[in-house]
């Protein structure tokens, strides 16, 4: 917009879209569906369109009213005990969390899993010594690599031991860092040079896994950041 006169402009008003859906839980019991925070997050947040929160009911049904007809990502706020497992729009299974409200969508079925496991272990340095206060990232790979909400992290204690709970079933790579910029491990390009140093974790439903991880040194991170 400008403070000068504008000729020939056209404003088009598009009606909002109501989205109805249902949340169900698989793999175990879960109470408190009405406490879930389920959002549609706009891909165009810089345009001020933000996100829209679903109004959840105790029976798992929800309604999102008057959403702008555009592309969103469905996001579940971190909730202990459950994770976002799959999304169906009408009779179509979605491959990722992207939902396009500019086309006919149909009833949303959001499936949450309640069969997450945990991984524990020890972080060692190249000399085989325990590393205290290392950041440990379990990053989803394989079929669910695009579902960023599955990633988990924790920290080692003074003995170099760590435990990460609520890890959904699937394939992960586990990275341990002596020191790393906040948020950097979520970047695939940042992780790529270190992937060979990260052991693979295959978490079964309700699994309990143990592993030993060699820490990626601060010197290695600094060298690649230069």
For each of the domains in the chain, give its residue range(s) and CATH number, in order of start.
17-113 (2.60.40), 117-225 (2.60.40.10)
Q: Are strands 117-124 and 108-113 parallel, antiparallel or unpaired?
A: unpaired
Q: What is the pLDDT of residues 62-117, one digit of tens each?
A: 998 888 888 898 988 888 889 999 999 998 998 888 899 888 888 999 999 999 99
pTM of the model: 0.83
As separate numbers, helices (DSSP H) first and strands (DSSP E) second, the chain gives: 2, 17
User: Residue 155: CB partners within 8 Å, gap ≥ 6?
Assistant: 133, 134, 135, 136, 162
Residue at token pair 């917009």? 1
180-217 burial, b at 16+ Cβ within 10 Å, e below that, comes to beeeebeeeebbeebeeebeebebeeeeebeeebebbe
Q: What is the pLDDT of residues 42-69, one digit of tens each?
A: 866 544 456 788 888 999 999 988 888 8
Structure tokens at 179: 């020191």
Q: What is the pLDDT of residues 124-143, one digit of tens each?
A: 999 999 999 999 999 999 88
Residue at token pair 């997450």? 116
């Amino acid at each position: 917009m400008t403070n000068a006169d504008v000729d020939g402009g056209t404003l088009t008003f598009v009606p909002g879209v109501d989205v109805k859906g249902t949340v169900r839980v698989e793999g175990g019991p879960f109470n408190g569906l009405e406490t879930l925070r389920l959002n549609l997050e706009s891909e165009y947040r810089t345009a001020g369109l933000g996100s829209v929160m679903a109004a959840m009911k105790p029976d798992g049904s929800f309604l999102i009213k008057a959403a702008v007809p555009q592309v969103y990502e469905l996001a579940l706020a971190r909730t202990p005990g459950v994770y976002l497992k799959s999304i169906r729009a009408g009779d179509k299974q979605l491959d990722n969390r992207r939902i396009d409200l500019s086309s006919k969508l149909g009833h949303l079925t959001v499936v949450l899993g309640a069969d997450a496991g945990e991984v524990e272990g020890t972080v060692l340095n190249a000399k085989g010594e325990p590393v205290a206060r290392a950041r440990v990232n379990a990053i989803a790979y394989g079929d669910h690599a695009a579902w960023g909400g599955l990633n988990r992290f924790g920290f080692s204690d003074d003995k170099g031991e760590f435990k990460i709970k609520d890890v959904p079933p699937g394939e992960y790579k586990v990275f341990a860092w002596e020191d790393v910029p906040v948020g950097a491990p979520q970047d695939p390009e940042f992780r790529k040079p270190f992937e060979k140093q990260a052991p693979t974790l295959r978490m079964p439903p309700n699994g309990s896994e143990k592993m030993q991880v060699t820490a990626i040194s601060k010197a290695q991170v600094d060298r690649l950041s230069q």
